[in-house]
Chain A
Amino acid sequence: MSDVTVKNDKFYFINSDTIQAEKITAPRYSYWASVFRVFFRKKINIVLISLFVLLILATFIIPIFAPYKPYENITDAKTFNLSPKAAMAYFGGFSFKWMLGTGGMGNSIFYGIMSSARTSLILAVICAAINMTVGIILGAVWGYSKRFDQVMLVIYNIIANVPYILVISVVVYIISAGFWSFIFALTITGWLGIAYFFRTQVLIIRDREYSLASRCLGTPIPRMISKNILPFLTSVTVTLLATELPSYIGMEVFLSYIGVGLSAEVPSLGRMIQEGQNAFLIYPWVFWPPVIIAATITIILYVLGQNLADASDPRTHM
């Protein structure tokens, strides 16, 4: 025992305030506000978002003022496959139009990739929106209900196994190749893969202890799905979105390669890459610009998605 003496004048009485005692001292918490606080703490995200907005503006505005005409020089064989330098020399001095050279039909590569990128972006956003919405809602119910699971598994086994190349070929054949028929072909069965992915995720969480406890307390299914299961899957959902959005650009390239892509009138990155792939050693400027623009869009979307997924885990919000 030490000899410290505490004097009484160090203490004073406080009156108990019942109104004050009822107030909760914890700060107000909003989940999404904290997500974005963590998200914007990283400077790279702001840079990427600005870059993305710039890219969207460029791909939407440039084609309005400078429409892409792939066949404007088709009669002049001297304009085919010109390097940027040769193209600008041929068409007289520096111009934005010819700064990336010309393609196999004397078409401007720069205007081409701008129009194509717009097509690809719209395609990716529409397809991802339809497929993700349908996929997540159905997948959540599918994974949660064991009876629905058995029915849906049969449906999944049927639809997922009809080769999608065949489905796309048939759809494109029946309702003629075009932008909307291509979207229809990509979404008619595209949601199923996402729904199945979600089903497996939900299946894993469904039997966790907290879900069991919640069910014992009589929580109705819709609330179980929206409060117990889906929030747990936010980071997975965002990661999936980050992979899903760019995947349609890659898918379009692949389908163009095997010959069931968009029709020739619609400029698309897939068609440009497919046209450039045979000559990518001789005329690299035909091949690389569409690849680079596709890659840039993908990288931006993916990095933003990953960072958003990291930020969406509330345990990182401290």
Chain B
Amino acid sequence: MRKYLLKRILFSLFSLLVVVTTVMLLVYTLIERSVIFQMDDVWNKKNANDRASYEYTQYQKFGYLEYNDYAAFLKAKYEALYGADYTKNADFKADLEAIQDENAYLENASVQEFIQQNEAKGYKATYLSPVRSSNGKVKKGGNAYLLAVRELSPFVRLWKYITQLITVETTNDVKDEALTDRYIRVEKDPYNGLFAVVGSGTTHKYLLYFNGRFPFIHQNFLHLNLGTSFTKYRGSEITTVINTPTGNQIKTHTQYPAQIGTDQYVDTAIDFHSLRYNSNPRNATEMKQFPDQYTAYSYRIGGLSMIENSFVAGIIATLIAYLLGLPLGISMARHKDGWLDKIGNGYIIFIMAVPSLAYIFLFATIGTTLFGLPYKFANAEVKILAYVLPTISLALPQVGSLMKWMRRYMIDQMNSDYVKFARAEGLSEKEIFRKHISKNAMIYLVHGIPANILGCLTGAIITERVYAMPGVGNLLTTAINGHDNGIIVACTVFYTTLSLISVILGDLLLAKYDPRISLSSSKGGGR
């Protein structure tokens, strides 16, 4: 069994890899890349070479290619030679101007150096020659550009993605030579009196700490980099986006790290457990506030994060669905063609027949007008009430579907020989239904339980849109519409991992629930 499980996990990892490759090929090669400019105002306003150069910047941002710019190369070169005043240097100006002459630019030494340097690294020099009008003057946006471009092959991209998927924080993370004292040690946490693992030289100061926020113990040793957003969440990592709370800032009565041990207190929303290394020298105020270079921080924000929002609504809906749907399905089968069966069937048919979009709107209207429940998520005065309608909207179809299948399987089992036998033995109808038929009917439903629970983490598309609920359900759809390739890949990896786990868990649960089923070939004869 253990061998079978190991094999399944390995197969799953392999399929995850293939899924990522497939999706990367889909989004990076099958879709024409220029569609990203369809809605871009900046692109519309730019002309000629300015536009072409802007396209390269965007392509690099979206992960299609990598390029180096001649101007940036000159900046680095002369800054190293002459310091911050390099722009006043005559050689610099001459080198910068050299590319504006399309006939003689190749003779410039810096240009040659740039091209040779980049071609050695596998880049291809691309010259955008100046666009001139008939009188020889450069048109608007027609200035020449010299770039070195390298297309990213799918395999390079995949390799980069996999190697950067999990990063570990070490004491060598900070590249600042001024930092000499590097360590990771257990210290007493001044903010809660418990202990914490504190690092120096690591990106984060607190590597392991406790606080009052779920899941109460937090770590910064390992980071998951599923993918970076290019458009909607500018440059943010997707795991950060979905885990950042969506509420308001919470101020606490606390102290800056340098104030600890004194009686000075401040009211601030800064979360001092989030301190990160900042290589810029501290200014006068920061000198008073922080004892070291760990001065970058994020704020303490209330409310639930996107994924928590989706999960809370989803898991309550799933619980309601199982607690209501299964007993109702059993009762419907027991009193087949009775009034409960008729009402239940009516409900099932309603949920199936009316498109989800329509009944979500219908229930939203009923909930807001009859019960005064908040409609749009952000407008709710009592936050907990905002979850009521989305949760109900999510539970309604699930209850219907569980009722439907439970009834079907119960009825299929009702004429079985074991039921007749149980009846012949004199068992009561209640006992037969509860202990015999429902247990056998559940075999068919057990497999889906892990998928239903883990599925809550992926959110709901229509429900979250209708109630303007900040959840994860719409990440993928908005990413596809906005060509946010990083998020598309990240979402795919996230969804795939969840569903791979649910398939394995479902099979295990099925084999556990019904001992007649053997998963591995070794039992019950190989085939």
Contacts and interface: CB of A to CB of B under 8 A. Distances in A.
Contacts of B444: 200-201, 204
Highest count of chain A CB atoms <10 Å: which of B354, B447, B465, B516: B354
Interface string A229-259: 0000001100100010010011001100111
Interface string A195-212: 000001101100110000
Interface stretch (A13-21, A57-65, A125-133, A161-169): A161-169
B26 A170 contact: yes
B492 interface: yes
State the main secondary structure of chain A at its contact with B: helix
B358 interface: yes
A235 B404 CA distance: 13
A239 B409 CA distance: 11
Interface string A142-181: 0001110010011011101111011101100110000000
Chain A's interface size range is 35 or more
B358 A273 contact: yes
Contact of B352 (A156, A165, A170, A298): A298
B527 A146 contact: yes
B19 A146 contact: no
Interface string B169-191: 00000000000000000000000
A157 B526 contact: no
A274 interface: yes
A163 B357 CA distance: 20
A281 B366 CA distance: 12
A119 interface: no
B431 to A, nearest CB: 22
A280 B491 CA distance: 33
Contact of B357 (A208, A236, A277): A277
A294 interface: yes
A303 interface: yes
A166 B23 contact: yes
A154 B527 contact: no
Nearest to B500: A157
Contacts of A315: 415
Contacts of B526: 146
B275 interface: no
A257 B516 contact: no
Highest count of chain A CB atoms <10 Å: which of B345, B480, B503: B480
A250 B356 contact: yes
Chain B's interface size range is 35 or more
B361 A254 contact: no
Given A166-B26, A298-B353, A207 B524 contact: yes
Contact of A154 (B14, B480, B496, B516): B14
B412 A299 contact: no
A306 B11 contact: no
A160 B506 CA distance: 16
A277 B361 contact: yes
Interface string B491-527: 1100110011001000000100010111001001011
A274 B404 CA distance: 28
A295 interface: yes
A303 to B, nearest CB: 7
Contacts of A280: 361
B365 interface: yes
B481 interface: yes
A147 to B, nearest CB: 7
B477 interface: yes
Contacts of A250: 355-356
B14 A169 contact: no
Contacts of A146: 521, 526-527
B488 A166 contact: yes
B48 interface: no
Interface string B341-377: 0000100011011111110010001000000000000
A274 B357 contact: yes
Nearest to B21: A158
Nearest to B17: A158
A281 B357 contact: no
B152 interface: no
Contacts of B492: 161-163, 166
B74 interface: no
B117 interface: no
A166 B412 CA distance: 38
Interface string B275-314: 0000000000000000000000000000000000000000
Given A150-B7, A201-B444, 9 more contacts: A157-B503, A161-B495, A161-B496, A203-B517, A208-B516, A249-B355, A254-B357, A273-B357, A316-B415
Smallest CB-CB A-B distances: 9 pairs: A157-B15, A298-B353, A161-B496, A315-B415, A295-B353, A253-B355, A291-B358, A299-B353, A161-B19
Interface of A: 145-147, 150, 153-154, 156-158, 160-163, 165-167, 169-170, 173-174, 200-201, 203-204, 207-208, 235-236, 239, 243, 246, 249-250, 253-254, 257-260, 270, 273-274, 277, 280-281, 287, 291, 294-296, 298-299, 302-303, 306, 309-310, 313, 315-316
